[in-house]
Structure 1
Amino acid sequence: MKKPLAYLGLALALLLPAAHLQAQTADKPKADQPKTVRITYVTAPFNVPSIVMREKGFLDEAFAAKGIKVENPVITSGAQQTQAIAAGEIDIASVLGGTSAILAAANGVPLKVVAAYARSPKAYFLMTRADGPAKLADLKGKKIAGPKGTVLNQLLVAALASQNLKLSDVEYINMDLPAARAALLAGQVDVATLAGANVTQVEKAGGRALTSGEGLIKPTTVIGANAAFLEKHPDLVAAYFAAHHKALDFMAKNPEEALAIAAKEQKITIEDARAQLPLYDFAPAMTDADVANLTEDQAFMIEAGMLPKAKAIDLKATLIAPSAFTLR
């Protein structure tokens, strides 16, 4: 009668070393695993998930479990992020304008869109001072500052096109958001393409909006990855999304704390932060609507002369990773 128990004990004795070895193997890093992962940190216009992820340490935590350190270079320009991907200097572009992603892929940059970041047409503006141009038709010949190769660049082109004007009809100066805001308030330019806290600061200084992106563009910012990194290390991309989803969950469960964290990082009041947040949809799963919007963006860039027609790409086949549609 005791034999079954004896056999059970023998079976457990044989299984335990194997289980222990399996656990040890699971904790061991892969031989080709990088020591450092480079993921850009972009706060503007109002990238609350990224801000929360960094402040709460979710990203460092996710990669520390794999024995990997995280570097967060601050690169706000979409063009500079895609250049860094092309040079192998970053692995994940955490917030990238859809137009920047399309232009990069069309020009041979090994980039894959792995998720949507945000959808926010009401968050992008052409701003001017109280004494600036009264309407869009008055933009001809004016000095306009803002980051080239971005959603704001596209907004400017669309706003000008609505008045039968082109970029060549204005003096367009490449500046990041804080520099463009400062140049506008100092009277050095007539208009600035701005978003997020920079818009609020101009309004508080007496400035006003000429237009938002609503009705002109349907911007989708995305998360991009170096294609080789995605292919070689899908587990590390998954680790990134574990942290990203943790930030989204934190925002849902602790909205006031998340707003306070974002307001502090953006140097705005909690009231201003609360007014900004509803302008954004941060759901990461790509949808057919996102693909349609990006397809419209590509068609618009071709029409506006920003992208040669011969370089147009099939977005689903060339740019967007299939996994981008299955994120929760």
Structure 2
Amino acid sequence: MRLFRNLVIAASLLAAPALAADQPSSVRITYVASPFNVPSIVMREKGYLDEAFAAKGIKVESPEITSGAQQTQAIAAGEIDIASVLGGTSAILARANGVDLTIIAAYARSPKAYFLMTRADGPAALAELKGKKIAGPKGTVLNQLLVAALASQGLSLKDVEYINMDLPTARAALLSGQVDVATLAGANAVAVEKAGGKPLTSGEGLIKPTTVIAARTAFLNEHSDLVRAYFDAHHKALAFMKENPEEALAIAAKEQKISVEDARAQMPLYDFTPVMTYDDIANLTADQDFMIGAEMLQKDKAIDIKADLVAPSAFEVK
């Protein structure tokens, strides 16, 4: 018995260096502040993410990748481990096309926070969009809003000139008269309105967007403890927002370069509850059906949202 116990101890000592070698020296987690991602903004300002991983001797790298398509390409290439804010449509398209990612939580639900914006002298109604130049980030919720708005008028992307631009560039192009309409959200939409622009429509009644938190499936499977460390930081940020709402608004306003009053007006547009629900699954399934109908996704590539894309743990209180 003593010999067996000594062998077990020796084996565990030999295994320890191998286990340590398996632990990465750094994790790569995207930072996406726009359109109004207050938990991420607070998490960075308060250092919660660095703190959570420093306890494990791991450095956090935070590339700022706002495009959903670019985030999923980076996941596919193994260049990021966690996409902290990813449009549900981007996650679906990526998984349907073979990118091995998994949704690990919801980030936000916010149909009223997405807009088609124009200048005061721009189109007066959605029916006037045919032939217009429209700027915005492709492969995102805003892309989906544009398709839905056009479809409501019997139009499609083929009826407009759709130019791929990030949010600040699209806002600038709209205000300088280079495009007729921009798909915008958060501070960028507020800036256009303050400059005399107007919303043609919001996402309400057209889309039910769910942004999510997604991880490389291999990272999730191999480093569940590091995923938990990420959620420790995320929940710390949510708790801070609840306990210190005015300070959280001030932090978000500073990052977004807007007034606290504008930040306060934005906050009610978002539900940041991270636990996934079956309503979220229904909305994501409807998003996939919509993308198939709009020829954004081939029907034979459709996935089972719950079984193929969402981790069972996403439905649990973390």
TM-score, normalized by the shorter chain, greater than 0.5: yes
Please list every run of at least 4 consecutive aligned residues from structure 1 whose deviation after the TM superposition is greater than 4 angstroms: none
Give 2:257's aligned residue.
267
Q: Structure 1: state its 5+ residue gaps.
A: 1-21
8 Å contact from structure 1 (residues 29, 67) kept in 2: no
Comparing 28-37 and 159-168, the one that deviates more: 28-37
> Could you tell me which amino acid in structure 2 is paired with residue 253 of structure 1?
E
Query: In the TM superposition, what are the counterparts of 1:134-173 in structure 2 within 5 Å?
Result: 134-173=124-163
Give secondary structure in 1 for the equivalent of 2:20. Answer: coil
**Aligned with 1:279 (options 258, 269, 277):** 269
**Deviation at residue 46 of structure 1 after TM alignment:** 0.1
- Counterpart CA distance in 2 for 1:319 and 1:33 is 25
Q: Structure 2: state its 5+ residue gaps.
A: 1-11
Query: In the TM superposition, what are the counterparts of 1:198-277 in structure 2 within 5 Å?
Result: 198-277=188-267
> Could you tell me which amino acid in structure 2 is paired with residue 138 of structure 1?
E
**Aligned with 2:186 (options 190, 196, 201):** 196
Provide Cα deviations, 1:213-232, integer angstroms capped at 9, x if missing partner: 00000000000000000000
- Counterpart CA distance in 1 for 2:228 and 2:20 is 15
8 Å contact from structure 1 (residues 110, 226) kept in 2: yes
Give 1:183's aligned residue.
173
> Could you tell me which amino acid in structure 2 is paired with residue 161 of structure 1?
A
Report the count of equivalent residues.
304
Q: Percent identity?
A: 80
- Counterpart CA distance in 1 for 2:191 and 2:210 is 24
**Aligned with 1:30 (options 20, 24, 44):** 20
TM-score after normalising by structure 1: 0.91
- Counterpart CA distance in 2 for 1:68 and 1:289 is 36
- Counterpart CA distance in 1 for 2:209 and 2:284 is 8
> Could you tell me which amino acid in structure 2 is paired with residue 242 of structure 1?
D
Provide Cα deviations, 1:39-75, integer angstroms capped at 9, x if missing partner: 0000011000000000000000000000000000000
CA RMSD of aligned residues (A): 1.4
Give 1:319's aligned residue.
309
- Counterpart CA distance in 2 for 1:316 and 1:213 is 24
Give 1:7's aligned residue.
none
- Counterpart CA distance in 1 for 2:20 and 2:64 is 28
Larger Rg: 1
**Deviation at residue 164 of structure 1 after TM alignment:** 0.2
> Could you tell me which amino acid in structure 1 is paired with residue 51 of structure 2?
E
- Counterpart CA distance in 1 for 2:169 and 2:19 is 43
TM-score after normalising by structure 2: 0.94
Give secondary structure in 2 for the equivalent of 1:291. Answer: helix
